Amino acid sequence: MNFFGDLFGFILTIVIGGISGWIAGRIMKSEHSMLVNILIGVVGGAVAGALFGLIGIHFGGFIGYIICGIAGSCLLITIVRLIKK
C-alpha cells in the first residue's frame, strides 16, 4: 500500500466529484448550496461508478470519471427531490 498514491487518489476523487457535483447542480438547476452539490457529486460519482461497474461499463481518464460523476450526481439530485416531495 502506497500512502501517497492512496492519498492522491482520494484527493483526486474528491476533486472530480466536486467538479461533477457542481456541473450536475447547474444542469439540474439544483436549489442546494454549492457545498451540498459538491458532496452530492462525490457520493453520486462513487455510487454511479459502482453501478456502472456492476453492469460492465468502466470509465477511464479524467473525462470518463467526470461523465460518470455527473450521471451519478444528476441521479442523486433527482432522488433527493423525489424524497423531499
Percent of the chain topping pLDDT 70: 93
38 close to 85: Cβ distance less than 8 angstroms: no
Closest alpha carbon to 20 in 62, 83, 55: 62
Confidence band of 13 (pLDDT split at 50, 70, 90): confident
Q: Are 12 and 35 in contact (CB under 8 A)?
A: no
- Average pLDDT on 58-73 reads 83
Q: What residues have CB less than 8 Å from 73, skipping those under 6 apart?
A: 17, 20, 21, 23, 24, 25, 37, 40, 41, 44, 45, 48
Q: Domain limits of the chain?
A: 35-51+59-85
**Grid coordinates representing 63?**
473525462
Mean pLDDT of the chain: 82
pLDDT at 3 over 70: no
Q: What is the pTM of this model?
A: 0.77
Task: Quick: pLDDT tens for 27-64.
Answer: 988 888 888 888 888 888 888 888 888 888 877 777 88
- What pLDDT is attached to residue 2? 54
